[in-house]
Amino acid sequence: MLESLKKMFSGNEGDLPVHTGSKPDISREKSAELYEKAKTFFPGGVNSPVRAFKSVYGTPLFIQKGDGCYVWDADGNQFIDFCGSWGPLILGHNHPKIREKVTEVMQNGMSFGAPTALENELAELIIKNNKFVEKIRFTSSGTEAVMSAIRLARGYTGKDKIIKFEGCYHGHSDSLLVKAGSGLVTFGETSSQGVPKSFALETIVIPLNDKDAIKAAFEQFKDEVAAVIIEGIPANNGLLIQDQDYVEFLQQICKDNKALLIFDEVITGFRLGFEGAAAHYGVKPDIVTYGKIIGGGLPVGMYGASAEIMGHISPDGGVYQAGTLSGNPVAMAAGIAQLTELSRSGFYKDLNAKTTEFAESIQRFATARNYKFKVFHVGSIFWFAFTDKEAIKTAEDIDPQSMDKFKVLHRELLNRGIYIGPSGYEVGFVSAAHTKIELEKAKRAILEGLDVVFRNK
């Protein structure tokens, strides 16, 4: 089967026959029933907004199980999954080594609210293989890790203001749910009801990829800025890959102004490589945050820094941060199993090469067809953009009207057994579980879907 698929794609992708029509919609009857019931329990019927499928066609899929690179929904539909629980499942679903380690640890209990040797084991595995952190603190989510990192930066520097960038998402804590105002350098405006304006006034929001804007921010708020926070590579609002010199510039201007540089690596950490975007750019952030990938997809987060900076966290220092379930033994067990696999020689080289071939072959097809479509990718992360721009570095560069085309593509992919995030602003992820066979199947579906999109333009 693999050989026949190879032959199918051995020539120029532009020579493939045009797909002649849309696929019939898959059955979502059981998912729709579950969604109607869920709406009586949860706001919008979901426990996280993007799951509501508001940006795409149809009702949400209720997932019943996952294995390898596949998921199955309540109606029995099977999909090749490129969402991977929003990135953490870099080894795929239900990986046997993670499952075995978690099952073994669960025999002794699942929560203690007290130290366990598992915390030491996972921490040692991380610190020995990551030169950007000397001490760490486990949390229960990426949002909690970023919130704690901000508090640490303020406590360490004795300053209050934070600079963030338009188009970067750092979780749902109050001081970071802000958006830019109308000027080049503005105080943040709350992007959610329930966030006091006084919280937003401590956050300065500026455009990405604009050196003049950050220079102006430091000049306007001289000696008031505790930290600059940026996603390692912004990947919550498209894949906004920043230039090397810009990231190095951020490091230097923070140093010059005695502010800390925080890399939010909830998506990029352990995904681009074991040391994430920090190693990708060769830039050492002062504080770095990570998310659920360090727990094999279970609820966990982490922030880390030098021993000197982390020495300000309680009980050693005066910056309070706590978590009843931090270092949960089940999550630690999953993390040990997952990161052990990620630390193996050649893991990232193979995964990233596989992703590059997948992304570039789709791009060759789109280019040959003169489709206004680009596949941006870095490491094992990719993003589909309906654009003819060679680079998109800011949220403002994304055409909102292009999301109409994404809606069509999303429906076509679901009907062909491919699952990606239900928003055109979300990125996709290739896992170690995606074999050449599945990637060729997915590629064929994507090319057919693009033909449908652009046939109907």
Residues with catalytic roles: 169, 264, 292
E-strand ranges in 245-314 read 260-264, 287-290, 301-305
The SS3 of residue 177 is coil
Q: What count of other Cβ atoms lies within 10 Å of the Cβ of residue 204?
A: 28
The structure tokens listed for 160 are 């209050």
Q: Are 56 and 407 in contact (CB under 8 A)?
A: yes
Phi, psi of 269 (to 5 degrees): -65, 130
Distances (CA, A) of 422 to 372, 388, 431: 21, 22, 19
DSSP state of 108: T
Which H or E run includes 168? none
Phi/psi of residue 303, nearest 5 degrees: -130, 155
Burial label for 307, CB within 10 Å (0-12, 13-18, 19+), is exposed
User: Per DSSP, which regions of 398-437 are E strands?
Assistant: 418-419, 428-429
Distance CA 354, CA 111 (A): 38
Cα 403 from chain centroid (whole Å): 19
**373 three-state secondary structure:** coil
- With the CA atoms of 362, 364, 367 and 372 taken in that order, what torsion angle do they form, in degrees rounded to the nearest 10? 20
Contact 6, 440 (CB under 8 A): yes
